[in-house]
Amino acid sequence: MTRQHNVTPAPTTRGNTAPGTAATAEWWRDAVIYQVYPRSFADGNGDGMGDLQGIRSRLPHLRDLGVDAVWLSPFYASPQADAGYDVADYRATDPMFGTLQDAEAVIREAHHLGLRIITDIVPNHCSDQHEWFRRALAEGPGSVLRERFHFRKGRGANGELPPNDWESIFGGPAWTRLPDGEWYLHLFAPEQPDFNWEHPAVQDEFRSILRFWLDLGVDGFRIDVAHGMVKAPGLPDIGRGEQARLIGSQVLPFFDQDGVHDIYRSWRTVLDEYAGERIGVAEAWAPSVERLALYVRPDELHQGFNFHYLNTRWDAEALRDAIDSSLDAMRPVGAPTTWVLSNHDVVRHRTRLGGGLARARAATLLMLALPGSAYLYQGEELGLPEVTDLPDEVRQDPSFFRASGQDGLRDGCRVPIPWSGTAPPYGFGDGGSWLPQPADWAALTAESQTGDPDSTLELYRSALAVRRSHPGLGAGDSVEWLEAPAGVLAFRRPGGLLCTVNTTGEAVRLTLPPVRLLLSSRAPFVPTAPAVSTPSALAALSSSRQPSNARSALDVPENLEVSEIREIPAEATIWWEE
């Protein structure tokens, strides 16, 4: 019989139902989860760096926003070579962010407010300051601790060449040579040596780490580089360069190896020891959505990030294909599909999608209308754009300083959040901000947008309130597509909700069943009075003159008795209720 830990998890925000009741069962299937990047969220001690005290002080903002859970990026003890993703001690909090007691206080306060807490865990690699790695270096070749990492002799006459041709994701070789002649593997920065997951001690250690944080009350883990950890036997060459560009599109010997699934089956048994539906979320870059689905089989993890959708361009046909393929891949394994537009590693979607704020708002309402779980990244509810003009001297992304790796522009989405006031640091803290904030962000602060019905913040609050109360949003595993012209998506969700998305730059006239407006991404938006039509009236109208700024979409189904002709603005998503 599985051992059950009785640490109290968070209550649900949906109806304030107590944990353990039917309403909280599998809460993660349609949850809206908000990512907090700790150093950029809120500064509680005035040193210019976000911290746990700051996060705790701003939790009411997240409760009022209407999210179900908060995902915290790493706050573990770390030299910060990669913003905390180089962990020196997985059971300690870095002094930059506070103390372990501060972390416990965040968890308690979040649960009190009806929020769950998901923490990052980084199992593919650690810091070069981790005790194991430091001892492995000190003990030299032949040390048993080197077996917990990937140490190898080099190639060439004198071992002067790396053991294989693998490249770091951050650029340059994935191997660093030591003075004693051996090389060690690091798929990211040299300060981040990869663990050898074939070693039992590594497996045991991470099961212990999971239990440590679960005992403190966390509700789950987002697993960094979940597709890593296991390497192909023999560490074979790839045979070509620019390997980082192949991630997520081709099979690579260091990513998405079948052996990772044994790890997650082991982890699932640990999660299931605890009451309250504790979950695991895979950050997995897989070559296909079908490969991603393997991570979320019933005996493995609960969710996997849908990077396929994140990378889809703003095009109706491409979006429909991504939605269908994502849902189709998850359905056989019974897992919810996840949807995400922004995170700490990509350009903010307001900038990345083009089209400015109107397109970003439309993309958000589309995402929130889909079945499954949605992820938000801090600041997107304020409509923040990517900061593209940071001077080189303030950048801290390690890939910026290494050639041929990632673009090195991740700092632009990590600029601290503007909370209040008319000038930097906009209420972030009393000591400035670790990355400079734009001088024109005063209108984007949470304070300035609160209460403004046309603001992006109030749009997010309204959308999440409707999503919580409407039975058709988030539920299920499919959408019912409706007829729509090129550039437009129209679909029905359970409970009589219709979603229409115009991805074009022109207004579109669309035939719908009788509906009432629930929410529009365009603000202000006052829908025109609908034309109630019979088939004969529609046929006549389709041949009459049309406004110069509108395109006709008046296909008339033969069995249609009563319908409405609605105009959908350019770059807009609208929720309707039948």
Catalytic residues: 224, 273
Query: 234 CB contacts (<8 Å, ≥6 apart)?
Result: none
The answer to whether 167 and 404 are in contact (CB under 8 A) is: yes
Nearest CA-CA partner of 560 in 528, 540, 532: 532
Tokens in use for 91?
A: 């059971």
- Could you give phi then psi for residue 462, rounded to 5 degrees? -65, -45
The answer to whether 130 and 112 are in contact (CB under 8 A) is: no
How far is it, in rounded angstroms, from Cα 303 to Cα 389? 35
**Identity of the amino acid at 426:** Y
DSSP 27: G
Tokens in use for 321?
A: 């294909």
Alpha-carbon distances of 97 from 45, 92, 332, rounded to whole Å? 9, 11, 42
Tokens in use for 406?
A: 């990632």
Helices 52-65, 100-112: inter-axial angle, 10-degree rounding: 10
Alpha helices (H) in 331-472, listed in sequence order:
349-352, 356-368, 446-449, 456-469
* Burial 150-169, CB ≥16 within 10 A → b, else e: bbbebeeeeeeebbbbbbbb
